[in-house]
Amino acid sequence: MTFATTLGQPLALPCGATLPNRFGKSAMSETLGTLDNHATRELVRLYQRWADGGTGLVITGNIMVDQRQLGEPHNVVVEDERDMPILRDWAKAGTRAGNHLWVQLNHPGKQIPKMLATGDTLSPSAIPFGKALSPHFKQPRALTEAEILDIIQRFARTAGILKTAGFTGVQIHGAHGYLVSQFLSGHHNQRTDRWGGSLENRMRFPLEIYRAIRAEVGPDYPISIKLNSADFQRGGFTEDESMTVAETLANEGLDLLEISGGTYESPKMAGQGIRESTRKREAYFLDYAEKIRARIDIPLMVTGGFRTSEGMAAAVDSGATDIVGVARPLALEPDLPLRILSGESVHSVVEPRRTGIKAIDDMAMMEVVWFARQLHRMGKGKEPRKNESVLGAFVRSLVMVGIRSSRTKRMKLRANSG
């Protein structure tokens, strides 16, 4: 098969839905919501670009399920149907080429920056971040049983609203150190009740979220999870544990497993610390995918590292993955899948973005903010700026995040006092 033929194959999901090709846009945080966390026209324009660009499965940046718990300023939050008109427009624009548009559902847990937090930050256990990140995040409070059950229902309620709006599936964010990831980690979750301790208990939280969503949306609606292959932290979520969780969810009827890895304390998902032999295969987590393939038969999506049309097709042809997960390449070339499907041999223009200042370059968020600026440009109807100054983008984004966080925090404090 040629790479265009391989990547142009449709993919049937266990629930009965079919994806039109093998390209998947992985979630990137857009921070294009309003100050008070509503969806915007910028999101409609951005997702129309990706739909028109040929990506068969587009997954949104994380939508939060609780207005009180935000990972970043200008996150979108969906708790009720008050934003149904703009949500319908977003869903319609993002599926207009016959592709799928799924929403990633998330709760940050303790991963809320100090500058944004107004009340308690929540986690399975009151375990702070390590030395490098603890200055930037509050000491969390352990969740109560009632709060855990409430969060589970919030995931389900938000999924139901988004299905009504026209989004064609949902994804549970179970990676990168957010709340679901915190529950799975033996380091962050040191509870002694039914939600902690053994892996069976630690994975109860994502399992109950999946079951609640499935009860809300029905058997023929796609549900995915983004899961770490491992946390790459001492005492954290291991590869063997990840495979057990994946197998358990697959047996429950999960439609797609997206494989990632790492947290902001150990950012493997950004390519830091990846071996050169892994880079040559392009995908960072293909080794894990090949192992889990022997244990589950649901579709897999591997994200992180894909750069060439030939490398993408080779990963699918090998059987290691069913969907090629791409993110940063689509922040610079939203039509990249369409070009590959037309037969063009493509090498993404994505390359490491560095300021030359080691302290900044070692920060996992540095490149994230550079690529987020390109999403903002597309949201405004502009083209990505591929040669934008990395240091300039980082400084401008740092200032903007500070301003946005301050405004959001003031707004939340006024609401709480009222």
How many other CB atoms sit within 10 Å of the CB of residue 68?
Answer: 16
For residue 146, give the CATH number of its domain: 3.20.20.70
Coil, strand or helix at 319: coil
Give the whole-angstrom CA distance, residue 101 versus residue 169: 7
What per-residue confidence (pLDDT) applies to 231? 75
Look at residue 391 and tell me if it is in a domain: no
Look at residue 409 and tell me if it is in a domain: no
Coil, strand or helix at 300: strand
Helix (H) or strand (E) run with residue 88 in it: helix 84-94
> Would you list the DSSP string of 92-117?
HHHTTTS-EEEEEEE--TT--BTTT-
Nearest to 107 by CA among 145, 140, 62, 149: 62
Helix (H) or strand (E) run with residue 41 in it: helix 41-52
Cα distances (Å, whole numbers) of residue 49 to 87, 106, 169, 379, 406: 17, 24, 19, 9, 31
Coil, strand or helix at 405: helix
The residue behind tokens 């300039």 is 392
From first to last of its 418 residues, what are the pLDDT tens digits of the chain? 699 999 999 999 999 999 999 999 999 999 999 999 999 999 999 999 999 999 999 999 999 999 999 999 999 999 999 999 999 999 999 999 999 999 999 999 999 988 888 889 999 999 999 887 888 899 999 999 999 999 999 999 999 999 999 999 999 999 999 999 999 999 999 999 999 999 999 999 999 999 999 999 999 999 999 999 987 767 789 999 999 999 999 999 999 999 987 655 545 444 444 444 444 546 678 999 999 999 999 999 999 889 999 999 999 999 999 999 999 999 999 999 999 999 999 999 887 777 676 765 666 566 788 899 999 999 999 999 998 887 666 667 666 666 666 777 677 677 766 5
What per-residue confidence (pLDDT) applies to 139? 94
Q: Which pair of structure tokens corresponds to residue 52?
A: 């028109």
Question: Can you give the residue range of the structural domain that contains 42?
Answer: 3-351
Split into its structural domains, the chain has a count of: 1
DSSP label at 76? E
Coil, strand or helix at 55: coil
Q: Are 173 and 62 in contact (CB under 8 A)?
A: yes
Look at residue 223 and tell me if it is in a domain: yes
Q: Are 51 and 93 in contact (CB under 8 A)?
A: yes
Look at residue 376 and tell me if it is in a domain: no
Look at residue 390 and tell me if it is in a domain: no
Give the whole-angstrom CA distance, residue 378 versus residue 24: 19
Look at residue 240 and tell me if it is in a domain: yes
How many other CB atoms sit within 10 Å of the CB of residue 266?
Answer: 19
What per-residue confidence (pLDDT) applies to 83? 98
Full-model pTM? 0.91
192, amino acid identity: T
Give the whole-angstrom CA distance, residue 236 versus residue 239: 10
> Would you list the DSSP string of 204-249?
HHHHHHHHHHHHHH-TTS-EEEEEES---STTS--HHHHHHHHHHH
Look at residue 401 and tell me if it is in a domain: no
Residues sharing a CB contact under 8 Å with residue 408, sequence separation 6 or more, in sequence order: 35, 70, 73, 74, 116
Look at residue 414 and tell me if it is in a domain: no
What per-residue confidence (pLDDT) applies to 276? 47
